[in-house]
Amino acid sequence: MGNAGVAGAEGIDAVYHNPALLSASRELALELGLVGASFLLEAEGTARPVVAYPSLSATTIGGLLPLPFGGVLKDRVTIGLGFVTPTDVVVRGRILYPEKPQFLIADRVQTVAVQAGLGADIGYGIRIGGGFMAMAALTGSVTVATDASGRLGTVVEDTLVASFAPVAGASYEFDDYRIGLAFRGVLQGRFNVVIEAENLGQLEIPPLNISGVAQYDPWQISAGFAKVKGALRFGVGLTYKHWPAYPGPVEATVRCEDQPDPTQTCLAPLPPDVDFQPVASPRAGVEYRFGIDEDSHIAARGGYGFEPTPAPEQTGRTNYFDNHRSVFSLGYGIVLGGPGIAFDGYFQAQVLHARSHTQTVADGGEIDTTVDTRGAILGGGVSGRVSF
């Protein structure tokens, strides 16, 4: 439904869209699914080829656990869980030179991701909820040194760590309609491997930081309005994304604070400023339910969203390409209420609006060229759910 679920999401979908809506689910549920995406991205006019991006394939797991409280909390609190696991990697992060032509969106999906939330119904049509998102990141060190015999050796240590971000939501329901509001914190997957050289005689090498940000989702606020009862349902929403805090994918290799003499001027090069701008993304979706019996139905869904790019035109030596995107989606749902079984599926096409970059400086030299970027991202998925 075009990602317009902040006010209308149901069941396990509420773990991501708005954890407050988890409290509307009162059945124990388990969901298994498969998702995939392909990247068809083009940049014409560059002196170097654009980096190739592999397709995504991943498994998904979701769960709902209504808490069996009594008294005033009876049938009011539900926990939801969601997991996404790529089939071939735990996390893939590529930190490329700024001059390398690259689309920043394509590698952001290649990571294990976890989300958990708790929703509570506090009465009078008001629901609140909170939780967290987590994803994989990497930290480590490489020590280069000579041993007692004078031979050069290395010791490599790396650790897979988790990066966390808070999530909170609220909703208010009246008649057949609902208003929703959700907040998601900054979710950042950072790679940081420090190379240190020791006991190399008179040769002194400062610590080298092989580091950068492979995945970054800015903090964002989503607001929405939805019709949540009846055969015809719909949802509309708007999401603000605060991209100005994005530090860029590349970090400095040599840091000023690592200089032996703190009064010495650090002449190490710094990565270029990405200068991203805040954006607001509108979206809308519609669903129609065809009744089979009192507890079963078939649903047809569709949606549209517009994702404006936060990235400026690439006029200098950087080639961080990003385009406005129109997101079209279609989906279906089958709910068999008797046995408590449901199936869902969707197809999504993200069309990158054509964009031209007039570059006058690249790789330290003067040039005069135009780079045209365009393309599409095709995705889809299926899932099955059983309720108890």
DSSP 33: E
Instruction: Report the SS3 class of residue 15.
Output: helix
Give the best-scoring range by mean pLDDT among 243-252, 330-339, 376-385.
376-385
Q: What is the pLDDT of residue 158?
A: 84
DSSP symbols for 306-349: EE---PPP--SS--EE---EEEEEEEEEEEETTTTEEEEEEEEE
**Would you say residue 379 has pLDDT above 90?**
yes
What's at 76, amino acid-wise?
A: R
Q: How many residues does the chain have?
A: 388
Q: Which residues contact 60 (CB under 8 A, 6 or more apart)?
A: 31, 32, 33, 34, 35, 82, 83, 84, 85, 381, 383
Q: Residues 89-96: what's their mean pLDDT?
A: 82
| CA-angle at 359, arms to 356 and 365, nearest 5° | 160
The answer for 230, left when phi > 0, alpha when psi is -120 to 50, beta otherwise, is left
Taking the complete model, does pTM exceed 0.75, yes or no? yes
Higher pLDDT, residue 240 or 198:
240
pLDDT digits (tens, 9 = 90+) for 271-294: 888 899 999 999 999 999 999 988
Residue of 248, 246, 241, 218 whose CA lies nearest to 95: 248
| Tens digits of residue pLDDT in 64-73 | 999 999 888 9
Q: How does pLDDT run across 21-55, given as a tens digit for each residue?
A: 999 999 999 999 999 999 999 998 887 788 888 89
Residue 254: pLDDT band by 50, 70, 90 thresholds? confident
Strands 320-321 and 341-362: unpaired
pLDDT of residue 269: 75
Domains of the chain: 11-387 (2.40.160.60)
Most confident of 78-92, 106-120, 259-273, 296-310: 296-310
Enumerate residues 6+ apart whose C-beta is below 8 A from 279: 240, 241, 243, 307, 308, 309, 310
pLDDT for residue 80:
97
Helix, strand, or coil (residue 14) = helix
| DSSP assignment of 139-188 | EEEEEEEE-TTS-EEEEEEEEEEEEEEEEEEEEEEETTEEEEEEEE--EE
pLDDT at 51: 81
Nearest one of 105, 58, 12 to 381, comparing CA atoms: 58
Q: What is the rounded distance in angstroms from the CA atom of residue 276 to the CA atom of residue 4? A: 24
CA distances from 18 to 74, 167, 300, 372 (A): 21, 8, 22, 37
| pLDDT tens-digit map of 138-176 | 888 888 887 777 788 888 888 888 899 999 999 999 999
Cα three-residue angle 369-371-377, rounded to 5 degrees: 175
